[in-house]
Amino acid sequence: MTSAIRNLPVVLLPGTGSDETFVQSVFTGPLALVGARLIAPPPPPGAVLAEGYLEELDRLARVHGSLVVGGVSFGAHLAAEWAVANPRRCEGLVCALPAWNGEPGSAPAAVAARASADLVAAQGVDGALAAVAAGSPAWLVDELSRAWRRHGDDLVPGLRVAAGRRAPSLTELATVAVPAGVAGCAGDLVHPVAVAREWALVLPRGELGVVELADFGRDREVLGRASLVGFLKGWFGSAAGTV
């Protein structure tokens, strides 16, 4: 790898209801292999979740000059939104599990976020987690238990912000002419692979990586590697190889 990639600040944002701890579990190892600097900001509180993250990206761009941005699910949406609005300050995208394009409408992730918000509001975090545990793998229940409790009273408004926020349209994504890795997860019904594929196809330098849900359950870093390899292919061309 060249010194250029080693010096790049890579700012990655979590999905709604998640936090920087999860982002670190997905991306720290893969980014360390190429010497890039992971910056994983903690979630802004509740109702200012989206605008707070966009303001933090602006602040970090003033500090560093330009950024590679990305994230998981809603974090990927916000990063892409920032990239559309800041073409001269964005060096690349590293996005995992984008959930919709344009208005959320009835996208599964938006429906799930609204339902989760309603469930937490009605039953509290413990009651909601008990309901989620009935049909979810243990690793996901553990992750939600840690992150949801951390969000506390900010969880419900944050879920509602994410469920209602527009993502970049495919037309807007087509204007983001930077290297872009987009990872999807086969078997994840909340984040359909078809959405990740659409993002990768319209991004001018987009590359798609797909992982299996069972593999992701065993090793969070498979998702980070898939999206990072796509970014590296866009950065270096077909000589990127693997990490």
pLDDT at residue 223, as a whole number = 97
pLDDT at residue 3, as a whole number = 52
Contacts of 231 (CB under 8 A, 6+ apart): 68, 70, 92, 93, 94, 179, 180, 181, 207
Residue type, 131: A
For 193-202, letters b (16+ CB in 10 Å) and e give bebbbbbbeb
pLDDT in tens, 140-171: 999 999 999 999 999 999 999 999 999 999 99
E strand or H helix at 179: strand 179-186
Angle at the Cα of 228 from the Cα atoms of 66 and 179, rounded to 5 degrees: 50
Residue 243 has pLDDT above 70, yes or no: no
pLDDT at residue 109, as a whole number = 98
DSSP H helices, the chain, are: 3-6, 20-34, 49-64, 74-85, 108-133, 138-151, 155-164, 170-173, 193-202, 213-218, 221-236
Look at residues 228, 202, 5 and name the one whose alpha carbon lies nearest to residue 241. 228
Tell me the torsion sign for CA atoms 202, 203, 204, 206: negative
Question: Please, what is the average pLDDT of the chain?
Answer: 94
Average pLDDT over residues 59-63: 97
Contacts of 60 (CB under 8 A, 6+ apart): 9, 11, 39, 41, 67
* First vs last C-alpha separation in the chain: 11
d(CA 14, CA 20): 6
* Residues listed for the chain: 243
pLDDT in tens, 94-138: 999 999 999 999 999 999 999 999 999 999 999 999 998 888 899
pLDDT at residue 4, as a whole number = 63
Residue 5 has pLDDT above 80, yes or no: no
pLDDT in tens, 204-241: 999 999 999 999 999 999 999 999 999 999 888 744 44
Residue 46 has pLDDT above 70, yes or no: yes
Which residue(s) pair with 183 in the sheet?
96, 209
Angle at the Cα of 234 from the Cα atoms of 223 and 197, rounded to 5 degrees: 55
Residues of the chain with CATH 3.40.50.1820: 3-102+167-240
Reported pTM:
0.94
Q: Which fold has domain 3-102+167-240?
A: Rossmann fold (3.40.50)
